[in-house]
Amino acid sequence: MNRRAILSLGDGKYFGRALIAVASAGLFDDADLWIFGWPSSSVEHLPGTIHFGSIVQVMREFGRSIRPSFFHPYFWRYGCLLWLMRQGYEQVLSLDSDCLMVDHVPEMWDAADHNGIAACRDISTDMPQDLVPPGDGPFRATLAAAIARSGPEIRDRLFRLIGLTDADGGHPYVNAGVLALNSHPTMTALLHDYLEYALRCGSFMRRLTWPDQDLLNALLAKRGIRADMLNPSEYNFFPDLGDDKRILHWAGEAHDGILHLWRPYRPLIDQALRRLDTTLDAVVEQFPVE
Ligand SMILES: [Mn+2]
């Protein structure tokens, strides 16, 4: 049995929700849950398989001093991933804190064994108008198109910094909200790269639309790593705007994998969670949901 960890990052008020979502679905039978945040988000009274880590402390162990105000926590998720691999975790599942896990996803653990990473294509440059069908047919997002949303000059500058060409821009562009990673050497090398570039590129990165995700995709293209594609309707479902009833139904029925509740839907996480059968109410109450 491989050692497994689930990584969730705290970002203020969604910090507690990340834990609630995972714990409610009882998904960490074989995995440790790691929640990382800034030191001010400290948590006590954790049960055995749940751990809290400090992003600042992790980065310090890599010899990187960062201020909590420097970028969004998600920017440093890759340092936390590398740190977890150094702790001996071979398979890591990284989830945005606006993800709601509504069922077990056992096959996801092995999805990254071949290429080191498995993810869903990002829909940001080709939003489907209706339900997301199985497979990745409607998802045509590529690196160049996704980064060009920040403006062509920004795209060109990132390409120059990373050493990419237009041909690399044809690389499929994945969403970083749900990632399965394997700790084999190509992936740890990529995570090292990430930390190098994140600091070298500095404030320039703030000008990208999705800095952490854009940089991840740029580095995958640079190293010629093609993520194994997961089915977005199972693993990273961005609900269709205007159909919030469907979300609540799914959460209540608890028969889907992972819902990714982007900004307009985040308040619905609370409603959905009330419908899940949780045995961890007492634990959850101790988490600081602001
Ligand atoms: Mn998200």
Cα(175) to ligand 1 centroid in Å equals 9
| CA 243–ligand 1 middle distance (angstroms) | 18
**Alpha helices for 149-243 (secondary structure H):** 152-162, 185-201, 211-222, 232-235
pLDDT value, residue 122: 83
- Of all helices (H) and strands (E), which one includes residue 121? strand 117-121
Is residue 155 a contact partner of residue 173, using CB atoms and an 8 Å limit? no
Q: How far does residue 147's CA lie from ligand 1's centre (Å)?
A: 17
What's the CA-to-centroid distance between 262 and ligand 1, angstroms? 5
What spacing in Å lies between the alpha carbon of 177 and ligand 1's midpoint?
5
pLDDT at 155: 92
Query: Which pLDDT tens digits describe the chain residue by residue (290 residues)?
Result: 679 998 887 654 455 555 555 655 566 667 888 888 765 545 544 555 777 788 888 888 888 877 766 667 778 899 999 999 999 999 999 988 777 777 777 888 899 999 999 998 887 655 443 434 444 445 567 898 888 888 889 999 999 999 999 999 889 899 998 999 999 999 999 999 999 998 888 778 888 888 899 999 999 999 999 999 887 767 776 655 444 444 444 444 434 677 777 655 555 565 555 554 443 343 344 343 33
Report the relative pairing of strands 258-260 and 117-121 from DSSP bridges: unpaired
Distance from C-alpha of 229 to C-alpha of 174, rounded to nearest angstrom:
9
Residue 280 near residue 24 (C-beta atoms within 8 A):
yes
Q: Give the pLDDT of residue 290.
A: 33
pLDDT at 140: 64
Helices of type H across the chain: 15-24, 55-61, 77-86, 143-148, 152-162, 185-201, 211-222, 232-235, 244-253, 266-275, 281-284
Please say whether the beta carbons of 25 and 102 come within 8 A.
yes
- Which of 273, 210, 267, 239 is closest to 13 using CA atoms? 267
218 CA from centroid of ligand 1 (Å): 19
What is the maximum alpha-carbon separation in the chain? 53
Distance 231 CA to ligand 1 centre (A): 17
Q: How much is the pTM?
A: 0.83
Q: Which domains does the chain have, with CATH numbers?
A: 4-284 (3.90.550.10)
Q: How many CB atoms lie within 10 A of CB 203?
A: 8
Residue 261 CA to ligand 1 centre (angstroms): 7
What is the 98 CA–ligand 1 centroid distance (Å)?
A: 5
Q: How far apart are CA 130 and CA 83, in angstroms?
A: 39
As given in the structure block, the two tokens for residue 158 are 């990132």
Between the CA of residue 70 and those of 19, 48, 135, 203, what are the distances in Å? 24, 31, 37, 9
176 vs 220: CA distance, rounded Å: 12
- Please give the distance, rounded to the nearest whole angstrom, from the Cα atom of residue 214 to the centre of ligand 1: 14
What are 86's two structure tokens? 């150094």
Where do runs of H (alpha helix) occur along 29-89? 55-61, 77-86
- The number of beta carbons lying within 10 Å of the beta carbon of residue 94 is 25
Question: What's the pLDDT at 277?
Answer: 42
